[in-house]
Amino acid sequence: MSIITKITTVALVLAMAACTNAGRLGGGPGSAGAGSGSVIPGSANDPTSPAYFQQAIGDRVLFAVDQSTLSSEAQGVLDGQARWLGTNADYVAVIEGHADEQGTREYNLALGARRANAAREYLISRGVAPNRLKTISYGKERPIEICSEEACYAKNRRAVTVLSGGLAG
Amino acid sequence: MMRLLLTLLVGACLLAPPVSAQNGPLRIVITEGVIEPLPFAVPDLIGATPEANQMGAQLARVIAADLAGTGLFREIPSTAFISQIRDFGAPVQYADWKAINAQALITGSVSQAGNALTVQFRVYDVFSGAELGNGLQFSGSVDGWRRMAHKVADAVYSRITGEGGYFDSRVVFVSESGPKDQRLKRLAIMDYDGANVQYLTDSSSIVLAPRFSPTGDRVLYTSYETGSPRIFVLDIGQVQRRVLDTTEGTMSFAPRFAPDGRTVLYSVTQGGNTDLYSMSIDSGAQTRLTSDPSIETAPSYSPDGSQIVFESDRSGTPQLYIMSAGGGEPRRISFGQGRYGTPVWSPRGDMIAFTKQNKGRFHIGVMRTDGSEERLLTASFLDEGPTWAPNGRVIMFARETQGAAGRSALYSVDITGRNLKAITTPDGASDPAWSPLQN
């Protein structure tokens, strides 16, 4: 991909983001209509897109109860994230740490921070510049699954790498 | 002389077992074990005008609700009354009140002039045929009429139990709406009984765990307003807030005032590790209190400010520890099964309230400050975040129900584990903090 194409893609993605959700790049319905060939820029088929990062590489890793250690599966996902961030150097990321609802509010905030930091440290160890990676903890305040069973808890104990910025990075 | 006698009676009764219904002086000793609620009557307070009489009826309802709400008293309905109180100064017909088993009788008068409200009351020990203590008078505003009722109820409670009251107090909490995955939170304040709810913030950012200053005029809390969790102080009267800690690359949370009202104890997370700090609220100067790779959070001062109880997972699971207010080597005080969190030192200094998680259930419990005499007061899917009533006899906490439609509400319970009850709030509610008694 030429540099020109890449810049165009990033600009498109940013433009889309501005239309939807400031500061956060989701993998929204792609198609700005300007694609060439079969790859629609910004879509999950476009390897340089946040949508691809989210869906094809995986934007999150999951943790065992009370733990912040990274499983081999989680490390595999983060390896992919590190490679993507290496290629797409215009992006910065905030890693959001989360906990399930089993636990007190304060402890879960601290636990979420541990998880976010574990993911961040791993990405740094794989070559991502520290100044591109921030962390935040939401504790148990922002579950994505709302049942009170392990099936939901397992998905809530997570660290999510949320891309933002782009050219400024 | 009367006062002296009463004092002596108090001393004697504290050693005695809980009173049975009709023997001995009017007295409730708050100890363990089930006691029979003490029957009382509170006829409408008397006014000189229809308006004042209307106010007197409202005041009597709130006084009765305060007392009956403790579980230590039982109201005798006015339909059972034989004699009516028509003159606050006239002698009481004890036989009429004895006949309906009203052990305590509370009478009062009320006068209104513009927005000024004056309330007088007397308490009678019906079976002894004598007034209990002297009559008292409170002055306030018509707008603040509920507080006058709470003050009367506090005085009655205090005279009969020998404990400080707690009705003239407020609770700051997090008002919650929306489903679990899109919950909106805002700070709110209300009277201890759920009346007079006011909102202190909007719900544009997540807000957590407000805590009163020792004088009840300010609140510390955690907000995501700046993007990441940071501690804020809010002036309740002015509804003005300011962020206290803006150190880049950190988050701060779990703030709590020192008894001096000028020092804040809180948690700082940096590089994934959470430790305890204190801060001078005026100068912003910070002091690091712990330096461990484990999580240290949820700190609370002893009432004299000399010690700190907090939660740490340095042993592998969250447990409770006490250390000197300046830091230093902590000693572990929780040794039971399960995980312990959110310790709060009682205003009397004698106990620590906590959240305990064991075998998939949550409990609110209390223990002595050396960890002995652990007692679990509640059990549910998720009970969390105890806060003490000003007299150290009642604990309020949040209970969240299970499942996708789970909702959080506030409850209170005696430190004996009795009298568990829900506090009605307009929406969901969590993270309660009880104020000191108001002046």
Q: Is the pLDDT of residue A1 over 90?
A: no
Alpha helix positions (H), B72-144:
94-99
pLDDT at B24: 59
Nearest to B297 among A68, A107, A145 (CB): A107
Average pLDDT over residues A12-16: 39
A83 in the same domain as A143: yes
Q: How far is Cα A7 from Cα A166, in angstroms, rounded to an integer?
A: 10
Mean pLDDT highest for which of A43-47, B130-134, B289-293? Answer: B289-293
Q: Is the pLDDT of residue B21 over 60?
A: no
pLDDT at A43: 85
Q: b/e string for B144-175 if b means 16 or more Cβ within 10 A?
A: ebbbbbbbbbbbbbebbbbbbbbbbbbbbbbb
Confidence of residue B32 (pLDDT cuts 50, 70, 90): low
Q: Do A110 and B228 touch (CB under 8 A)?
A: no
pLDDT at A119: 98
pLDDT at A5: 43
In chain B, residues with a C-beta closer than 8 Å to the C-beta of A137 are: 229, 251, 269
B267 in the same domain as B144: no
Confidence of residue B177 (pLDDT cuts 50, 70, 90): very high
Range of the domain at B63: 2-161
pLDDT at B29: 72
Percent of chain B beyond pLDDT 90? 88
Residues B58 and B47 sit within 8 Å (Cβ to Cβ): no
B149 in the same domain as B51: yes
Average pLDDT over residues B379-383: 97
Q: Do B298 and A114 touch (CB under 8 A)?
A: no
Confidence of residue A110 (pLDDT cuts 50, 70, 90): very high
pLDDT at A39: 78
Q: Are strands B383-388 and B130-131 parallel, antiparallel or unpaired?
A: unpaired
Q: How far is Cα B54 from Cα A10, in angstroms, rounded to an integer?
A: 71
pLDDT, greater one: A41 or A28: A41
Number of domains into which chain B is organized = 2
In chain B, residues with a C-beta closer than 8 Å to the C-beta of A147 are: 403-404
A71 in the same domain as A21: no
Read off the tokens for B298.
């949820």
Q: Is the pLDDT of residue A68 over 50?
A: yes
Alpha helix positions (H), A21-71:
50-52
Phi-psi group of B101: left, alpha or beta (phi > 0 → left; psi -120 to 50 → alpha; rest → beta)? left
Confidence of residue B34 (pLDDT cuts 50, 70, 90): low
B251 in the same domain as B206: yes
B237 Cα to chain A: minimum distance (Å): 27
Residue B358 touches chain A, beta carbons under 8 Å = no
User: Pick from B142, B161, B180: which residue ends a domain?
Assistant: B161
A94 in the same domain as A23: no
Least confident residue range of A92-96, A161-165, B121-125, B208-212: A161-165
For A67-97, the DSSP string reads --PPPHHHHHHHHHHHHHHHH-TTEEEEEEE
pLDDT at B5: 31
Nearest CA in chain A to B276: A110
Strand intervals (E) in B53-166 = 73-75, 104-113, 116-125, 130-131, 136-141
Backbone angles phi and psi of B68, in degrees to 5: -65, -30
pLDDT at A92: 97
A111 in the same domain as A42: no
Least confident residue range of A44-48, A115-119, B29-33, B321-325: B29-33
Residues B186 and B196 sit within 8 Å (Cβ to Cβ): no
B429 in the same domain as B360: yes
Give me the torsion for CA of B249, B289, B245, B210, rounded to 10°: 120
* B73 lies in some domain: yes
Element at A16 (helix H, strand E) = helix A3-20
Percent of chain B beyond pLDDT 70? 93
A46 in the same domain as A110: no
Nearest to B342 among A106, A110, A147 (CB): A106
Give the closest residue to A55 by CA, choosing from A29, A35, A36, A34: A29
B182 in the same domain as B154: no
pLDDT at B433: 98
A64 in the same domain as A8: no
DSSP H helix total and E strand total for chain B = 4, 31
B44 in the same domain as B156: yes
Average pLDDT over residues B28-40: 76
Nearest CA in chain B to A109: B253
Nearest CA in chain A to B316: A66
B271 Cα to chain A: minimum distance (Å): 6
B295 in the same domain as B425: yes
B222 in the same domain as B99: no
* B439 lies in some domain: no
Average pLDDT over residues A102-123: 97
pLDDT at A13: 40
Range of the domain at A50: 1-29+38-58
Q: How far is Cα A91 from Cα A59, in angstroms, rounded to an integer?
A: 14
A105 in the same domain as A24: no
A130 in the same domain as A79: yes
Residue B324 Cα distances to A162, B173, B306, B309, angstroms: 41, 29, 6, 9
pLDDT at B33: 58
* B310 lies in some domain: yes
A80 in the same domain as A8: no
* B385 lies in some domain: yes
Give me the torsion for CA of B204, B206, B208, B211, rounded to 10°: -30
Q: Do B297 and A146 touch (CB under 8 A)?
A: no
B235 in the same domain as B100: no
In chain B, residues with a C-beta closer than 8 Å to the C-beta of A108 are: none
ipTM of the complex: 0.90
Euclidean distance between the first and the last CA atom of chain B, given in angstroms as a whole number:
28
Residue A37 touches chain B, beta carbons under 8 Å = no
Residues B67 and B157 sit within 8 Å (Cβ to Cβ): yes
Q: Is the pLDDT of residue B292 over 60?
A: yes
Nearest to A106 among B249, B267, B317 (CB): B267
B228 in the same domain as B290: yes
Least confident residue range of A13-22, B85-94, B230-239, B365-374: A13-22
User: Pick from B138, B161, B184: which residue ends a domain?
Assistant: B161
User: Pick from B140, B161, B182: which residue ends a domain?
Assistant: B161
pLDDT at B31: 63
Average pLDDT over residues B353-372: 97
Average pLDDT, chain B: 92
In chain A, residues with a C-beta closer than 8 Å to the C-beta of B249 are: 134
Number of domains into which chain A is organized = 2
Average pLDDT over residues B198-223: 97
Residue A105 touches chain B, beta carbons under 8 Å = yes
Q: Which of A102, A109, A150 to mutate to test the interface with B (most CBs of B within 10 A)?
A: A109
For residue A145, the domain's CATH number is: 3.30.1330.60
pLDDT at A165: 73
Give me the total of CB pairs closer than 8 Å, taking one residue from chain A and one from chain B.
Answer: 99
Least confident residue range of A9-13, A148-152, B103-107, B379-383: A9-13
* B62 lies in some domain: yes
B314 in the same domain as B253: yes
For residue B35, the domain's CATH number is: 3.40.50.10070
Phi-psi group of B261: left, alpha or beta (phi > 0 → left; psi -120 to 50 → alpha; rest → beta)? left
Q: Is the pLDDT of residue B225 over 50?
A: yes
* B156 lies in some domain: yes
Q: Which tens digits make up the pLDDT trace of B389-411? A: 999 999 999 999 999 999 999 99
B140: exposed, middle or buried (C-beta count within 10 Å: 0-12, 13-18, 19+)? middle
A77 in the same domain as A7: no
pLDDT, greater one: A132 or A3: A132
B387 in the same domain as B245: yes
A81 in the same domain as A48: no
For residue B188, the domain's CATH number is: 2.120.10.30
